[in-house]
Structure 1
Amino acid sequence: MADFYDQKKIILVTFGIILLISALFVPAAVFYPAKVVTITPEAEIVGTSFWSLLFGSAGMVLLAATLFMAALIEQRMKAWLLSAATAALGLVSIAFSLGDYYYMTNDGFTYNPPLSFNSSTYTWEEFERVEERLHKEDGTSSIESVAYYFRDGDMVEFSSGRIFEMHSSLVHRVEAAGGEFTRIQAQ
């Protein structure tokens, strides 16, 4: 019986190490493509925040810790309780990772922020204005951040990500629907 138990520990630790190593690349290589595949086919570009990758990695690390605890803690009840709590946190972290996205279609812009499971969809007519903040360094201007203001008072700001790939197309659609575009040069 002791040999079987030791093999069980070895298997749990091995899978834990695999999950730990996978935490480095799975959020970008698996979670992001899963979002792209499951989001509506009308989406032109799908983006996600840096937090999504961090939450995905943290969730995988917590799942690895679950396996390590199950294998290494000798008291069975304590091991199962700690493992279950850690696994629950890991799964919630992965769910937050998968739920963080934004995309643009012909009809509007959809945004599901980090740490939320509720997305908001805005038609082009609901955009009040778009602000593009530029940063000048060594005589070259680059976009530092973009902010989108909506007629209902909401505002979304991005400082990195695929939003910059869709930004010019988004601005064009907002202006065509009657919204304003402002470019602000940082000092």
Structure 2
Amino acid sequence: MVDFYDQKKIILVTFGIILLISALFVPAAVFYPAKVVTITPEAEIVGTSFWSLVLGGAGIVLIAASLFIAALIERPLKSWLLAGAVAVIGLVSIAFSLGDYYYMTRDSFTYNPPLSFNSSTYTWEEFERVEERLHKEGGTSSIESVAYYFHDGDMIEFSSGRIFEMHSSLARRVEAAGGEFTRIQPQ
């Protein structure tokens, strides 16, 4: 029985190490493409926040930690309860990672923020204005952040990500629907 138990520990630790290593690339290599594939085919560009990648990696690390806990703590009930709790937190973190996205279709913009499972969809007529803040360095200007304001009082601001790829198209659609576009130059 001792040999089987030691083999079980080795297997758990081995899978834990594999998960630790994969935590570095799985959020970008697996989770992001999974979002792109599962989101509506009408989506022109799908984006996600930096926090999505961090939460996905942290979730995988927590699941790896649960395997280490199960293998290294000698008291079976205590180890499996603690490992189960850590694994559940890891799975919730991965769920938040998978639920963090934004995309644009011909008719609307959909945003599901980090740490939320509720997305909001805005038609172009619901946008009040778009603000583009520029940053000047060495004589060249670049976009520092973009902010989208809605008639209902909501505001979404992005400082990085694929939103910059869809921003000009999004701003044109907002303007065509009667919204304002403002470019804020650095002083």
Shift of residue 186 of structure 1? 2.0
Which SS does the other structure have where 2:54 is aligned? Answer: helix
* 3-state SS, counterpart of residue 60 of structure 1: helix
Scaled by the length of structure 2, the TM-score of the pair is 0.99
1:88 counterpart letter in structure 2: V
1:103 and 2:103 correspond: yes
For 2:186 and 2:41, the matched residues in 1 are separated by: 37
State the shift of 1:88 in Å.
Answer: 0.6
Name the counterpart of 2:177. Answer: 177
Structure 2 residue aligned with 1:58: 58
The percentage of counterpart residues that share the same residue type is 87
| Structure 1 equivalent of residue 133 of structure 2 | 133
Cα distance, 1:38 vs. partner?
Answer: 0.4
Task: Output the CA distance in 2 between the equivalents of 1:164 and 1:183.
Answer: 14
Distance 2:9 2:138 in 1: 57
Residue in 1 that maps onto 2:42: 42
Q: How does 1:28-39 map to 2 (within 5 A)?
A: 28-39=28-39
Gaps of 5+ in 1: none
Query: How many residues in Structure 1 have an aligned counterpart in Structure 2?
Result: 187
Q: Is 1:11 paired with 2:11?
A: yes
Runs of 4+ in 1 over 4 A off after TM superposition: none
Report what 1:116 is aligned to: 116
Deviations 1:86-120 (A, max 9, x none): 00100000000000000000010000000000000
Task: Give the Cα–Cα distance (whole angstroms) in 2 for the partners of residues 107 and 182 of structure 1.
Answer: 22
Unaligned runs of 5+ residues in structure 2 are none
- CA deviation vs aligned residue, 1:10-56 (integer Å, no higher than 9, x gap): 00000000000000000000000000000000000000000000000
Q: C-alpha separation between the residues in 2 aligned to 1:28 and 1:137? A: 30
